[in-house]
Amino acid sequence: MRLLLFAAVVGLAAYALRQPRRTNGTGAVADDVLVTHVRLKLDELLEHPGSVNIEAHDGVVCLTGPVADRELRPLKRALRRMAGVRSLDCRLTPHAATA
């Protein structure tokens, strides 16, 4: 019984943590999926991720809005490494971080 329960938990975890592979037919990540992945990355890296607007078209990601100056460089570095991002158009406005 324990083995069956363990197998069910492992299967559920594998299903929950799987990486979806939606593409637009050319092998590139679909724009809506790319925006979602970028939003999740912003949630990890920024103190106020909701203030950043994201647009994506054929792998070109455009970011607008305010961001703390110290967060800008790591954010750009992380987004350029993301799967599906062909180029990054960063129009973010850096500002001094508040204490």
Residue 24 pLDDT exceeds 90: no
Angle between helices 31-45 and 69-80 (to 10 degrees): 140
AA letter at 49: P
Q: Which two tokens stand for residue 97?
A: 């971080």
Task: Name the residue with higher pLDDT: 19 or 80.
Answer: 80
Residue 21 pLDDT exceeds 60: no
Given pLDDT bands bounded at 50, 70 and 90, which one contains residue 43?
A: very high
Sketch out the chain's domains with CATH numbers.
23-95 (3.30.1340.30)
Q: What is the structure's pLDDT at 22?
A: 52
Name the nearest CA neighbour of 98 among 65, 63, 64, 70.
Answer: 70
Mean pLDDT of the chain: 86
Mean pLDDT along residues 50-78:
95
